[in-house]
């Protein structure tokens, strides 16, 4: 029985710990806080709100994880959303449904040919997924030669299409005339904290996967998924140690965590976490307002209110400023899950993209910035619901880049690594470190951010660690 240390109890660390324990190894998980889940924390008040990730795609990745560790009976129920998201601008709304025909009908209001453009966009996004997404997600990224070998199996046409990808904004411009539907496409770059004007068109695989596999809500919120994994760790005999800010060192061919030797280490932490502020350009952070409304709102589960000038918004963000006219994201889980709020209440998660911290002065500016962004969030909510009064909106909490930095995110960046450039995503820190027996998992490593991909990183880290322990 080999000894494995897992440092960090986010989704990547939980997955790696469970799979390595299921494979027969003796696993100790070190978590520096008093709760598991990493950024996936929960606020429990009269309403329940996730304070981190709020959307689940690629549900089969999550189910496969629970199946591998013999814990399908612990998996919470998933709710598939017929209305995946509502997008709005002054006087106009675009509804993205699971049903493609309904989505195309919503697109027609933006001009002649926009529904046809959307249909073509989804077809191209499916081709991008096959050419680049499938080979990228099916195995740990160990270098371009191995990736290209997997890509070539899709055929030379798919391979060449993958090589010719431009930016996500360029892809949107090819298919749409309306600035609104271009914004709809461009928003998917923010799933990695990136700008659509500099990120690869490969990010179009995200709307493809949402359409093909659905957008889901975990009953009880993401916290229920964390609790299920914690129960699974208990079954598997994983020793979970809270309040342990553990670090690993290599000493005479041994890996040491604290004072104890281990045969392998999985680090579920951002590889850039210990770098000084301003060392590198990081992916975006975010500001979150956690609100309770003293009535049940007719608000969609996911609703995006776009700012008027997306190019200016990203220019401001990557210049270190909060946006003057920000895009706002609202999550209203009680629209789908009645366990999240009483019948006469709504809990609302409101988020605005924010720059990562570059200096201590940036951190000191956040009390004032929070006050500005809180009023923008509440003001937008009031505009969406005429008749709603300001005194009916209670502020339960706020989260800023400073809070994320305190949980180990470099500069408060949600995703850490910034995947700008044609080959940006391939420059992501790899799971296998340069030290034998040490592996990384999490949103900054391959394959990227979002709950399913982070769990996939934990799975790949467990695969590589197990092979190392078996001498393969």
pLDDT at 161: 64
- Taking a C-beta distance cutoff of 8 angstroms, is the pair 414, 284 a contact? yes
- Taking a C-beta distance cutoff of 8 angstroms, is the pair 276, 410 a contact? no
Distance of CA 438 to the CA centre of its chain: 24
Q: Where are the domains of the chain?
A: 3-41+59-76+221-271+419-469, 102-210, 285-412
Write out the H or E segment, with its range, that includes residue 218. Answer: strand 216-218
Fold for domain 102-210? Guanine Nucleotide Dissociation Inhibitor; domain 1 (1.10.405)
Query: What's the pLDDT tens digit per position in 386-395?
Result: 999 999 999 9
Write out the H or E segment, with its range, that includes residue 61. Answer: helix 59-68
Neighbours of 144 (CB within 10 A): 11
Nearest CA to 29 out of 9, 11, 10, 12 is that of 9
Neighbours of 70 (CB within 10 A): 13
Name the stretches of the chain with pLDDT < 70: 157-164, 472
- Taking a C-beta distance cutoff of 8 angstroms, is the pair 380, 428 a contact? no
Residue that the structure tokens 């991909």 belong to: 453
Residue 55 token pair: 């959307």
Nearest CA to 8 out of 313, 215, 245 is that of 245
What is the secondary structure of 307-354 as a DSSP string?
A: -S-HHHHHHHHTTT---SS--EEEE-GGGT-GGGS-TT-EEEEEEEEE
What is the secondary structure of 102-114 as a DSSP string?
A: HHHHHHGGG-TTH
Q: What is the CA radius of gyration of the chain?
A: 22
pLDDT at 277: 87
pLDDT at 395: 98
Query: What's the pLDDT tens digit per position in 91-113?
Result: 999 999 999 999 999 999 999 99
Give the HSE-up count for residue 178: Cα atoms under 13 Å, Cβ half-sphere: 20
Q: Is 214 left (phi over 0), alpha (psi -120 to 50) or beta?
A: left
Query: What's the pLDDT tens digit per position in 66-83?
Result: 999 999 999 999 999 999
Cα(468)–Cα(472) distance, integer angstroms: 6
Kindly tell me the number of DSSP H helices and DSSP E strands found in the chain.
16, 19
Point out which residues pair with 217 in neighbouring strands.
Answer: 79
Cα(223)–Cα(48) distance, integer angstroms: 10
pLDDT at 426: 85
Beta sheet of 3-7, edge-to-edge order: 239-242, 26-31, 3-7, 264-267, 438-440
Phi, psi of 56 (to 5 degrees): -120, 120
- Taking a C-beta distance cutoff of 8 angstroms, is the pair 92, 304 a contact? no
Write out the H or E segment, with its range, that includes residue 93. Answer: strand 92-97
The average confidence (pLDDT) of the chain is 94
Cα(114)–Cα(316) distance, integer angstroms: 29
Phi, psi of 45 (to 5 degrees): -135, -140
Cα(142)–Cα(447) distance, integer angstroms: 11
144-148 contacts, C-beta under 8 A, 24 or more apart: 144/426, 147/426
Distance of CA 50 to the CA centre of its chain: 13
3-41+59-76+221-271+419-469 has CATH 3.50.50.60 classification: yes
């Amino acid at each position: 029985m080999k000894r494995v240390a897992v440092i960090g109890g986010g989704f990547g660390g939980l997955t790696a710990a469970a799979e390595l324990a299921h494979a027969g190894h003796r696993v100790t998980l070190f978590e520096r806080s008093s709760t598991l889940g990493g950024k996936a924390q929960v606020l429990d008040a009269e309403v329940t709100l996730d304070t981190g990730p709020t959307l689940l795609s690629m549900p089969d990745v999550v189910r496969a994880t629970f199946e591998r560790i013999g814990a399908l009976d612990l998996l919470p129920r998933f709710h598939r959303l017929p209305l995946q998201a509502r997008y709005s601008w002054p006087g106009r709304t675009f509804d993205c449904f699971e049903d493609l025909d309904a989505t195309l009908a919503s697109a027609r209001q933006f001009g002649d040919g926009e529904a046809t453009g959307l249909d073509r966009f989804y077809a191209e996004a499916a081709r991008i997924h096959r050419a680049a997404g499938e080979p990228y997600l099916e195995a740990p990224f160990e270098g371009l030669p191995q990736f290209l070998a997997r890509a070539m199996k899709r055929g030379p046409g798919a391979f060449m299409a993958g090589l010719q990808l431009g930016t996500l904004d360029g892809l949107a411009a090819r298919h749409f005339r309306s600035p609104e539907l271009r914004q709809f496409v461009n928003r998917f770059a923010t799933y990695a904290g990136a700008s659509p004007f500099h990120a690869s068109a490969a990010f179009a695989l995200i709307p493809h996967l949402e359409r093909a596999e659905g957008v889901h809500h975990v009953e009880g919120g993401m916290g229920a998924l964390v609790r299920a994994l914690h129960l699974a760790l208990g079954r598997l005999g994983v020793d979970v140690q809270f309040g342990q800010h553990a670090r690993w060192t290599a000493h005479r061919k041994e890996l040491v965590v604290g004072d104890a030797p281990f045969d392998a280490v999985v680090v579920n932490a951002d590889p850039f976490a210990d770098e000084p502020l301003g060392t590198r350009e990081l992916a975006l952070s975010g500001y979150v307002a956690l609100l309770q409304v003293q009535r049940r709102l007719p608000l969609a589960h996911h609703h995006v209110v776009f700012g008027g000038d997306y190019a200016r918004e990203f220019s401001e963000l990557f210049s270190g400023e909060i946006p003057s006219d920000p895009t706002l994201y609202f999550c209203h889980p009680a629209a789908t899950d009645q366990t999240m709020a009483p019948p006469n209440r709504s809990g609302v998660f409101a988020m605005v993209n924010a720059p990562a911290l570059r200096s201590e002065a940036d951190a000191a500016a956040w009390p004032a910035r929070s006050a500005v962004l809180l009023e923008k969030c509440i003001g937008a909510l009031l505009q969406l619901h005429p008749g709603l009064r300001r005194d009916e909106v209670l502020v339960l909490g706020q989260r800023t880049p400073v809070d994320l930095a305190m949980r180990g995110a470099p500069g408060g960046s949600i995703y850490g690594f910034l995947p700008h450039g044609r080959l940006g995503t391939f420059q992501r820190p790899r799971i296998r470190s340069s030290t034998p027996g040490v592996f990384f998992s999490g949103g900054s490593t391959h394959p990227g951010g979002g709950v399913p991909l982070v769990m996939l990183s934990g799975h790949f880290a467990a695969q590589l660690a197990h092979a190392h322990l078996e001498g393969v």
